[in-house]
C-alpha cells in the first residue's frame, strides 16, 4: 500500500508500491500524449521557436479542453487569439511537470524538493481532471458518487475501475497538498 506524503526534515516524502507506480506512470503518459502539440509540416519555424501557433483550434476532446480552457467566457474569437500566443507553452509547462513526476516514479521511496512537489501536485491534478472527464464528473453530486467507490473488489467494469483509480489519485494528491501546505507554514 502507498503511504501518504509527509513533510519532515528531509522534505516531502512518499512511498508507492511497484504496481501503484506503474499505474501512475501509465496515467501520466496518457495525459502527456493528449497534450503533445500536433506536428505541423508547414509551420513557420520562427513562430514555432517563440511558441506561437497560428493554426491552433479550440480542442475538440472535452478532457483536453478542460486542461487548456478558453481564457474568456463569452468571446471565442479573443480566446482563440490568446491560444495562438500561449497554448503551446502551456502544453509544454504541463508536459514538463508530468515528465518530472514520471521520473520520480523510478524509485519506490519518493523524496521531493519544493519544486518537485509543485510538479507532482500539478501532474496529479491534470491526471484527475482527465479521469474526471472520462467518468463524466460534472458536479459535486457526481463527484460524491464516484467517491463512494473505495473497494477494489468492486471493480467489475471499466467505469468502476476508473473510479477507484480516480479516488487513489485524489487521496495521493490530498496527502501531497497537505504536506506542501505544512512546508509553506514552516517556511513562513
Partner 1 sequence: MTLSVALGPDTQEGTRTGTEASTDSLTAPDIPWNLVIWNDPVNLMSYVSYVFQSYFGFSESKANKLMMEVHKKGRSIVAHGSKEQVERHAVAMHGFGLWATVEKATGGQGGSGKTGGSGQGKGKRG
- The position carrying cell 463527484 is 143
90 binds partner 1, rule: CB under 8 A: yes
Q: For the CB of residue 164, give the shortest distance to partner 1 in the complex, in Å.
A: 16
Q: Is the distance from CB of 79 to CB of 85 less than 8 angstroms?
A: no
Cα 4 from chain centroid?
18
Which cell numbers hold the place of 186? 514552516
Q: Which is nearest to 66 in space by CA: 121, 130, 12, 159?
A: 130
Stretch that binds partner 1, among 11-19, 37-45, 100-108, 166-174 (CB under 8 A): 166-174
Q: Is the distance from CB of 68 to CB of 31 less than 8 angstroms?
A: no
What are residue 41's phi and psi, to 5 degrees?
A: -75, -30
Nearer to partner 1, 82 or 161 (CB): 82
Which cell numbers hold the place of 59? 480542442
Q: For the CB of residue 76, give the shortest distance to partner 1 in the complex, in Å.
A: 12
181 binds partner 1, rule: CB under 8 A: yes
Q: Is the distance from CB of 89 to CB of 120 less than 8 angstroms?
A: no
Q: For the CB of residue 155, give the shortest distance to partner 1 in the complex, in Å.
A: 21
Which cell numbers hold the place of 155? 471493480
11 binds partner 1, rule: CB under 8 A: no
125 binds partner 1, rule: CB under 8 A: yes
Nearer to partner 1, 108 or 118 (CB): 118
User: Residues in the site for partner 1, rule: CB under 8 A?
Assistant: 66-74, 82, 86, 89-90, 93-94, 97, 118, 121-122, 125-126, 128-129, 132, 137-140, 142-143, 147, 170, 173-174, 177-178, 180-181, 184-185, 187-188
Amino acid at each position: 500500500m502507498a503511504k501518504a506524503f509527509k513533510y519532515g526534515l528531509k522534505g516531502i516524502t512518499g512511498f508507492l508500491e511497484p504496481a501503484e507506480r506503474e499505474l501512475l506512470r501509465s496515467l501520466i503518459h496518457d495525459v502527456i500524449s493528449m497534450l503533445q502539440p500536433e506536428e505541423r509540416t508547414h509551420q513557420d519555424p520562427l513562430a514555432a521557436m517563440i511558441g506561437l501557433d497560428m493554426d491552433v483550434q479550440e480542442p475538440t476532446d472535452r478532457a483536453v479542453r478542460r486542461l487548456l480552457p478558453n481564457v474568456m467566457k463569452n468571446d471565442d474569437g479573443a480566446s482563440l487569439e490568446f491560444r495562438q500566443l500561449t497554448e503551446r507553452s502551456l502544453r509544454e509547462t504541463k508536459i514538463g511537470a508530468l515528465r518530472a513526476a514520471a521520473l520520480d516514479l523510478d524509485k519506490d521511496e519518493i523524496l521531493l524538493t519544493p519544486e518537485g512537489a509543485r510538479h507532482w501536485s500539478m501532474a496529479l491534478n491534470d491526471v484527475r481532471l482527465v479521469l474526471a472527464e472520462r467518468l463524466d464528473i460534472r458536479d459535486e453530486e457526481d463527484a460524491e458518487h464516484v467517491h463512494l467507490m473505495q473497494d477494489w473488489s468492486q471493480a467489475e467494469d471499466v467505469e468502476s475501475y476508473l473510479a477507484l483509480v480516480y479516488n487513489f489519485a485524489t487521496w495521493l494528491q490530498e496527502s501531497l497538498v497537505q504536506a506542501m501546505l505544512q512546508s509553506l507554514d514552516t517556511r513562513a
